[in-house]
Protein backbone atom coordinates (compact mmCIF):
# COMPACT_ATOMS: atom_id res chain seq x y z
CA UNK A 1 0.00 0.00 0.00
CA UNK A 2 1.31 3.44 -0.87
CA UNK A 3 2.14 5.69 2.03
CA UNK A 4 0.01 8.81 2.29
CA UNK A 5 1.96 12.01 1.93
CA UNK A 6 0.16 14.23 4.42
CA UNK A 7 1.83 17.37 3.16
CA UNK A 8 0.20 17.28 -0.26
CA UNK A 9 -3.51 17.81 0.14
CA UNK A 10 -6.24 19.92 -1.37
CA UNK A 11 -9.75 18.97 -0.30
CA UNK A 12 -12.25 17.42 2.07
CA UNK A 13 -13.40 14.39 0.11
CA UNK A 14 -10.12 12.68 -0.43
CA UNK A 15 -7.29 15.03 -1.02
CA UNK A 16 -3.81 13.70 -0.33
CA UNK A 17 -1.60 12.60 -3.15
CA UNK A 18 0.59 9.57 -2.52
CA UNK A 19 3.99 8.54 -3.74
CA UNK A 20 3.57 7.17 -7.21
CA UNK A 21 0.00 8.32 -7.60
CA UNK A 22 -0.96 10.61 -10.47
CA UNK A 23 -2.49 14.08 -10.25
CA UNK A 24 -3.90 15.91 -13.23
CA UNK A 25 -5.57 19.26 -13.76
CA UNK A 26 -9.14 18.43 -14.66
CA UNK A 27 -11.51 20.50 -16.75
CA UNK A 28 -14.19 17.86 -17.27
CA UNK A 29 -15.86 15.46 -14.87
CA UNK A 30 -14.72 11.88 -15.20
CA UNK A 31 -17.10 9.00 -15.57
CA UNK A 32 -16.39 6.03 -13.36
CA UNK A 33 -17.07 2.61 -14.87
CA UNK A 34 -18.93 0.39 -12.43
CA UNK A 35 -16.91 -2.80 -12.21
CA UNK A 36 -16.87 -5.46 -9.54
CA UNK A 37 -13.59 -4.31 -8.07
CA UNK A 38 -14.27 -0.62 -8.85
CA UNK A 39 -10.67 -0.01 -9.70
CA UNK A 40 -10.65 1.70 -13.08
CA UNK A 41 -11.78 4.85 -14.83
CA UNK A 42 -12.79 5.45 -18.40
CA UNK A 43 -13.81 8.37 -20.58
CA UNK A 44 -11.69 10.80 -18.60
CA UNK A 45 -10.71 13.91 -20.56
CA UNK A 46 -8.03 15.55 -18.48
CA UNK A 47 -6.04 18.67 -19.16
CA UNK A 48 -2.33 18.23 -19.59
CA UNK A 49 -0.34 19.41 -16.58
CA UNK A 50 1.49 21.70 -19.01
CA UNK A 51 -1.43 24.13 -19.08
CA UNK A 52 0.23 26.92 -20.99
CA UNK A 53 0.44 24.72 -24.07
CA UNK A 54 -3.29 24.21 -24.01
CA UNK A 55 -2.86 20.52 -24.76
CA UNK A 56 -5.28 17.82 -23.69
CA UNK A 57 -4.69 14.15 -23.16
CA UNK A 58 -7.13 11.30 -22.68
CA UNK A 59 -6.30 8.83 -19.94
CA UNK A 60 -8.27 5.60 -20.07
CA UNK A 61 -8.44 2.68 -17.68
CA UNK A 62 -5.87 3.99 -15.27
CA UNK A 63 -5.40 1.55 -12.41
CA UNK A 64 -6.08 3.19 -9.09
CA UNK A 65 -3.55 3.03 -6.27
CA UNK A 66 -4.08 -0.03 -4.11
CA UNK A 67 -5.23 2.03 -1.11
CA UNK A 68 -8.30 3.31 -2.99
CA UNK A 69 -11.43 1.28 -2.30
CA UNK A 70 -14.79 2.19 -3.82
CA UNK A 71 -14.87 5.96 -3.61
CA UNK A 72 -12.80 8.51 -5.48
CA UNK A 73 -13.60 12.19 -5.54
CA UNK A 74 -13.02 15.23 -7.67
CA UNK A 75 -12.17 18.19 -5.50
CA UNK A 76 -12.51 21.60 -7.14
CA UNK A 77 -10.15 21.61 -10.14
CA UNK A 78 -7.91 18.84 -8.83
CA UNK A 79 -8.18 15.19 -9.76
CA UNK A 80 -6.60 13.10 -7.04
CA UNK A 81 -6.70 9.41 -6.34
CA UNK A 82 -7.35 9.04 -2.65
CA UNK A 83 -9.97 7.47 -0.33
CA UNK A 84 -12.96 9.30 1.09
CA UNK A 85 -12.43 11.48 4.13
CA UNK A 86 -8.63 11.56 4.28
CA UNK A 87 -7.20 14.87 5.49
CA UNK A 88 -10.58 16.48 6.03
CA UNK A 89 -8.95 19.08 8.21
CA UNK A 90 -7.14 20.62 5.25
CA UNK A 91 -10.40 21.29 3.43
CA UNK A 92 -11.81 22.95 6.53
CA UNK A 93 -8.83 25.28 6.61
CA UNK A 94 -9.36 26.00 2.91
CA UNK A 95 -12.71 27.51 3.86
CA UNK A 96 -11.07 30.07 6.13
CA UNK A 97 -12.07 33.60 5.19
CA UNK A 98 -9.39 36.22 4.93
CA UNK A 99 -8.72 38.21 8.08
CA UNK A 100 -7.39 41.12 6.03
CA UNK A 101 -9.89 43.88 5.34
CA UNK A 102 -10.28 44.45 1.63
CA UNK A 103 -10.45 47.89 0.08
CA UNK A 104 -14.23 47.84 -0.21
CA UNK A 105 -14.68 46.74 3.41
CA UNK A 106 -16.34 43.52 2.33
CA UNK A 107 -14.73 41.48 5.10
CA UNK A 108 -14.68 42.52 8.74
CA UNK A 109 -12.13 40.18 10.24
CA UNK A 110 -11.89 36.49 9.43
CA UNK A 111 -13.77 33.28 9.97
CA UNK A 112 -14.95 30.38 7.82
CA UNK A 113 -17.20 30.19 4.79
CA UNK A 114 -19.47 27.23 4.08
CA UNK A 115 -17.81 26.28 0.79
CA UNK A 116 -16.32 27.75 -2.35
CA UNK A 117 -19.24 26.69 -4.51
CA UNK A 118 -19.92 30.22 -5.75
CA UNK A 119 -16.87 29.79 -7.96
CA UNK A 120 -14.16 31.48 -5.92
CA UNK A 121 -10.77 29.75 -5.65
CA UNK A 122 -10.51 26.93 -3.14
CA UNK A 123 -6.93 27.88 -2.38
CA UNK A 124 -7.17 30.47 0.41
CA UNK A 125 -4.07 32.30 -0.79
CA UNK A 126 -5.56 32.75 -4.26
CA UNK A 127 -8.93 33.67 -2.80
CA UNK A 128 -7.38 36.54 -0.85
CA UNK A 129 -6.24 38.16 -4.09
CA UNK A 130 -9.70 38.45 -5.58
CA UNK A 131 -12.30 37.87 -2.89
CA UNK A 132 -15.94 38.40 -3.75
CA UNK A 133 -18.14 40.28 -1.32
CA UNK A 134 -20.40 37.23 -1.44
CA UNK A 135 -17.58 34.95 -0.31
CA UNK A 136 -17.28 36.06 3.30
CA UNK A 137 -17.46 34.29 6.62
CA UNK A 138 -20.70 32.91 8.07
CA UNK A 139 -21.15 32.68 11.84
CA UNK A 140 -22.60 29.18 11.83
CA UNK A 141 -19.91 27.95 9.45
CA UNK A 142 -17.30 29.23 11.90
CA UNK A 143 -18.81 27.11 14.66
CA UNK A 144 -19.23 24.11 12.34
CA UNK A 145 -15.62 24.32 11.18
CA UNK A 146 -14.18 24.70 14.68
CA UNK A 147 -16.28 21.87 16.09
CA UNK A 148 -15.37 19.61 13.16
CA UNK A 149 -11.67 20.39 13.55
CA UNK A 150 -11.82 19.49 17.24
CA UNK A 151 -13.64 16.23 16.47
CA UNK A 152 -10.90 15.42 13.95
CA UNK A 153 -8.27 15.92 16.64
CA UNK A 154 -6.90 19.21 15.33
CA UNK A 155 -5.23 21.55 17.82
CA UNK A 156 -6.56 24.69 16.07
CA UNK A 157 -3.04 26.08 15.87
CA UNK A 158 -3.58 27.08 12.23
CA UNK A 159 -6.77 29.02 12.96
CA UNK A 160 -6.41 32.78 12.75
CA UNK A 161 -7.74 33.17 16.28
CA UNK A 162 -7.71 36.95 16.53
CA UNK A 163 -9.03 37.46 13.01
CA UNK A 164 -11.85 34.99 13.62
CA UNK A 165 -12.78 36.58 16.94
CA UNK A 166 -12.76 40.05 15.39
CA UNK A 167 -15.02 38.74 12.64
CA UNK A 168 -17.43 37.24 15.17
CA UNK A 169 -17.47 40.45 17.18
CA UNK A 170 -18.40 42.40 14.05
CA UNK A 171 -21.55 40.29 13.68
CA UNK A 172 -23.13 41.76 16.83
CA UNK A 173 -26.21 43.77 15.89
CA UNK A 174 -26.02 47.43 16.91
CA UNK A 175 -29.80 47.90 16.88
CA UNK A 176 -30.45 44.83 19.04
CA UNK A 177 -27.60 44.35 21.54
CA UNK A 178 -26.85 40.71 22.20
CA UNK A 179 -28.22 39.51 18.85
CA UNK A 180 -25.94 38.29 16.06
CA UNK A 181 -26.39 38.24 12.31
CA UNK A 182 -25.19 35.41 10.12
CA UNK A 183 -22.72 37.37 8.01
CA UNK A 184 -21.83 40.69 6.42
CA UNK A 185 -24.34 40.41 3.61
CA UNK A 186 -26.78 37.96 5.21
CA UNK A 187 -29.92 39.49 6.70
CA UNK A 188 -30.68 36.48 8.90
CA UNK A 189 -30.36 37.11 12.62
CA UNK A 190 -31.78 35.04 15.43
CA UNK A 191 -30.91 32.72 18.31
CA UNK A 192 -29.08 30.28 16.04
CA UNK A 193 -26.38 32.81 15.34
CA UNK A 194 -26.18 33.87 18.97
CA UNK A 195 -25.26 30.30 19.88
CA UNK A 196 -22.88 29.92 16.93
CA UNK A 197 -21.02 33.08 17.91
CA UNK A 198 -20.93 32.30 21.63
CA UNK A 199 -19.81 28.70 21.12
CA UNK A 200 -17.12 29.76 18.64
CA UNK A 201 -15.76 32.40 21.00
CA UNK A 202 -15.83 29.85 23.82
CA UNK A 203 -13.85 27.34 21.75
CA UNK A 204 -11.27 30.01 20.91
CA UNK A 205 -11.14 31.19 24.53
CA UNK A 206 -12.25 34.65 23.45
CA UNK A 207 -15.56 35.44 25.13
CA UNK A 208 -14.18 38.89 25.91
CA UNK A 209 -14.61 39.75 22.22
CA UNK A 210 -18.40 39.78 22.60
CA UNK A 211 -20.64 41.53 25.13
CA UNK A 212 -21.85 38.65 27.29
CA UNK A 213 -24.12 40.90 29.37
CA UNK A 214 -25.94 41.98 26.23
CA UNK A 215 -26.20 38.36 25.11
CA UNK A 216 -27.79 37.33 28.41
CA UNK A 217 -30.22 40.27 28.29
CA UNK A 218 -31.25 39.46 24.72
CA UNK A 219 -31.82 35.79 25.53
CA UNK A 220 -33.91 36.74 28.56
CA UNK A 221 -36.16 38.80 26.26
CA UNK A 222 -36.77 35.67 24.17
CA UNK A 223 -38.19 33.67 27.09
CA UNK A 224 -41.89 33.10 26.39
CA UNK A 225 -45.01 32.65 28.51
CA UNK A 226 -45.04 29.04 27.27
CA UNK A 227 -41.81 28.32 29.10
CA UNK A 228 -39.40 27.87 26.20
CA UNK A 229 -37.25 30.33 24.31
CA UNK A 230 -38.05 31.85 20.93
CA UNK A 231 -35.69 32.72 18.11
CA UNK A 232 -36.49 36.42 18.59
CA UNK A 233 -38.51 38.41 21.14
CA UNK A 234 -42.31 38.09 20.83
CA UNK A 235 -42.19 34.87 18.79
CA UNK A 236 -43.38 31.41 19.86
CA UNK A 237 -41.21 29.02 21.84
CA UNK A 238 -39.11 26.64 19.75
CA UNK A 239 -37.07 23.65 20.92
CA UNK A 240 -34.12 24.45 18.67
CA UNK A 241 -34.05 28.05 19.83
CA UNK A 242 -34.37 26.86 23.42
CA UNK A 243 -31.27 24.71 23.11
CA UNK A 244 -29.33 27.59 21.53
CA UNK A 245 -30.49 29.87 24.35
CA UNK A 246 -29.71 27.65 27.34
CA UNK A 247 -26.43 26.42 25.84
CA UNK A 248 -25.31 30.00 25.22
CA UNK A 249 -26.25 31.03 28.75
CA UNK A 250 -24.33 28.08 30.15
CA UNK A 251 -21.20 28.90 28.13
CA UNK A 252 -21.16 32.51 29.35
CA UNK A 253 -22.06 31.51 32.94
CA UNK A 254 -25.39 33.34 32.88
CA UNK A 255 -27.80 30.40 33.09
CA UNK A 256 -28.57 30.81 36.78
CA UNK A 257 -29.10 34.55 36.49
CA UNK A 258 -31.70 34.22 33.71
CA UNK A 259 -33.48 31.05 34.88
CA UNK A 260 -32.43 30.35 38.50
CA UNK A 261 -32.66 26.84 39.92
CA UNK A 262 -36.06 26.30 41.54
CA UNK A 263 -37.59 29.38 39.94
CA UNK A 264 -41.00 29.39 38.28
CA UNK A 265 -39.39 30.10 34.91
CA UNK A 266 -37.01 27.14 35.26
CA UNK A 267 -39.76 24.74 36.26
CA UNK A 268 -42.01 25.97 33.46
CA UNK A 269 -39.20 25.46 30.96
CA UNK A 270 -38.68 21.87 32.12
CA UNK A 271 -42.43 21.20 31.93
CA UNK A 272 -42.64 22.69 28.44
CA UNK A 273 -39.75 20.59 27.19
CA UNK A 274 -41.20 17.37 28.62
CA UNK A 275 -44.58 18.10 27.06
CA UNK A 276 -42.98 18.13 23.61
CA UNK A 277 -42.80 14.34 23.68
CA UNK A 278 -45.40 12.28 21.88
CA UNK A 279 -43.66 9.23 20.49
CA UNK A 280 -40.55 11.16 19.64
CA UNK A 281 -40.16 14.88 20.19
CA UNK A 282 -41.43 17.88 18.26
CA UNK A 283 -40.18 21.44 18.29
CA UNK A 284 -43.37 23.44 18.79
CA UNK A 285 -46.85 22.82 20.13
CA UNK A 286 -49.02 21.02 17.57
CA UNK A 287 -46.16 20.07 15.23
CA UNK A 288 -45.27 16.49 14.18
CA UNK A 289 -42.41 14.64 15.81
CA UNK A 290 -39.02 14.99 14.18
CA UNK A 291 -35.84 13.14 15.06
CA UNK A 292 -33.75 16.31 15.25
CA UNK A 293 -35.85 17.54 18.17
CA UNK A 294 -34.83 14.53 20.22
CA UNK A 295 -31.46 16.21 20.39
CA UNK A 296 -32.67 19.77 20.92
CA UNK A 297 -35.06 18.79 23.72
CA UNK A 298 -32.88 16.23 25.49
CA UNK A 299 -29.78 18.40 25.22
CA UNK A 300 -31.69 21.34 26.69
CA UNK A 301 -32.80 19.20 29.61
CA UNK A 302 -29.22 18.06 30.10
CA UNK A 303 -27.95 21.64 30.20
CA UNK A 304 -30.48 22.77 32.80
CA UNK A 305 -30.44 19.64 34.96
CA UNK A 306 -29.80 20.30 38.64
* Residue 245 clears pLDDT 70, i.e. is over it: yes
In this structure, of 98-102, 203-207, 243-247, the range with the lowest mean pLDDT score is 98-102
Q: What pLDDT does residue 209 have?
A: 97
Residue 89: exposure state from Cβ atoms within 10 A (0-12, 13-18, ≥19): middle
Could you give the C-alpha distances from 180 to 193, 206, 209, 253, 256, in angstroms and in order?
6, 16, 13, 19, 22
* Residue 78 clears pLDDT 80, i.e. is over it: no
In this structure, of 1-15, 124-138, 253-267, the range with the lowest mean pLDDT score is 1-15
Confidence of residue 179 (pLDDT cuts 50, 70, 90): very high
Q: Tell me which residue of 100, 96, 112, 79 sits closest to 13, measured CA to CA.
A: 79
State the chain's mean pLDDT as an integer.
72
User: pTM of this prediction?
Assistant: 0.67
Q: What pLDDT does residue 8 have?
A: 31
* Residue 151 clears pLDDT 50, i.e. is over it: yes
Amino acid sequence: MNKINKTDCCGLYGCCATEGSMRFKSSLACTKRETDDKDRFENCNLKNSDEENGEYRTFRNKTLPDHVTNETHFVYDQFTLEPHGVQATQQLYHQAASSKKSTDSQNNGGGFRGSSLIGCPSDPEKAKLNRSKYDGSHVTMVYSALASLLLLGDDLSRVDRQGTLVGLSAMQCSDEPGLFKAGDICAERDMRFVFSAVASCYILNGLEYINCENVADFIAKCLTYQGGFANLPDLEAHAGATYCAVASLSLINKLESVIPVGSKSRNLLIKWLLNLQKEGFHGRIGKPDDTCYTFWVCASLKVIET
